[in-house]
């Protein structure tokens, strides 16, 4: 088995060297090229974005807590609404808006953090989304897949075709209701 201390160092170097963001950019650019080949005019085509470690980076608190998830620290961080935008994904978002795609956020953040999340998205350069789905405060399933795929089903049943779904966790992407899925890397944590 690999050594945990060495893995942490390798992940920190992956971030600090810029390779993490470069790998995200490769995926975001693939999604952008796919959108570029579509014409959403009059077709209600949509792109779905995850938020944490896809649209916004929580790197400062991940690093401070040395990869150990401490819910109080993480919530304090989220409530500051200072998470920086992940630039290649923000570029994808702005490209999608400009081209006439609808945009949706589907996040595992709880409904109680809606205000700070909206504030952070806007300050990060994301605006004019069609709807922001947040996890209900009474959701207690062991996996986010039923919630996230259910949100995509709801988007689809309201008349949109989800052409792209992008996230950093497999659980962002499983469960269908999108033509294409795009997985950006996140070696720092796992959400079932």
Q: Name which position in 52, 109, 175, 182 contacts Mg ion (CB under 5 A).
A: 52
Q: Name which position in 50, 78, 92, 148 contacts Mg ion (CB under 5 A).
A: 50
Contacts of 76 by beta carbon, 8 Å cutoff, 6+ apart: none
- Shortest distance (Å) from residue 64 CB to Mg ion: 18
- CA distances 2 to 16, 20, 141, Å, are 21, 20, 31
Q: Would you say 21 or 168 has its CB closer to Mg ion?
A: 168
Q: Which of 85, 47, 32, 50 is nearest to 172 (CA)?
A: 50
Q: Name which position in 58, 124, 162, 168 contacts Mg ion (CB under 5 A).
A: 168
- Shortest distance (Å) from residue 9 CB to Mg ion: 23
Question: Does 21 interact with Mg ion (rule: CB under 5 A)?
Answer: no
**CB-based closest residue to Mg ion:** 52
Question: Does 78 interact with Mg ion (rule: CB under 5 A)?
Answer: no
| SS3 state at 171 | helix
Q: Would you say 40 or 110 has its CB closer to Mg ion?
A: 110
Structure tokens at 170: 């497999």
- Shortest distance (Å) from residue 20 CB to Mg ion: 14
Which of 74-82, 122-130, 134-142, 162-170 is the region at the interface with Mg ion (rule: CB under 5 A)?
162-170
3-state SS of the chain: helix, strand, coil percent to 5?
A: 45, 15, 35
Q: How many positions of this chain bind Mg ion (CB under 5 A)?
A: 5
Instruction: HSE, CB side, 13 Å, CA atoms: give it for residue 56.
Output: 28
Which of 29-37, 57-65, 109-117, 160-168 is the region at the interface with Mg ion (rule: CB under 5 A)?
160-168
Note whether 46 and 162 are within 8 A (CB).
Answer: yes
Phi, psi for residue 184 in degrees, rounded to 5: -90, 150
Distance between CA atoms of residues 45 and 103, nearest Å: 9
Q: Would you say 162 or 172 has its CB closer to Mg ion?
A: 172
Which of 5-13, 94-102, 153-161, 166-174 is the region at the interface with Mg ion (rule: CB under 5 A)?
166-174
Binding site for Mg ion (CB under 5 A): 50, 52-54, 168
């Amino acid at each position: 088995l690999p050594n945990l201390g060495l893995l942490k160092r390798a992940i920190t170097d992956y971030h600090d060297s810029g390779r993490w963001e470069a790998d995200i950019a490769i995926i975001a650019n693939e999604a952008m090229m796919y959108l570029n080949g579509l014409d959403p005019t009059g077709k209600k085509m949509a792109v779905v974005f995850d938020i944490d470690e896809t649209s916004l980076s929580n790197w400062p608190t991940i690093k401070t807590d040395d990869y150990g998830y401490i819910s109080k620290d993480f919530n304090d961080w989220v409530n500051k609404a200072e998470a920086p935008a992940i630039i290649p994904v923000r570029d994808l978002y702005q490209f999608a808006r400009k081209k006439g795609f609808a945009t949706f956020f589907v996040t595992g953040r709880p409904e109680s953090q809606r205000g700070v999340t909206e504030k952070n998205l806007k300050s990060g350069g994301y605006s004019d989304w069609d709807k922001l789905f947040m996890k209900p405060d009474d959701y207690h399933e062991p996996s986010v897949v039923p919630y996230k795929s259910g949100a995509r089903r709801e988007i689809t049943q309201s008349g949109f075709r989800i052409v792209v779904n992008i996230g950093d966790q497999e659980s962002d992407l499983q469960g269908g209701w999108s033509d294409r899925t795009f997985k950006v890397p996140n070696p720092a944590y796992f959400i079932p």
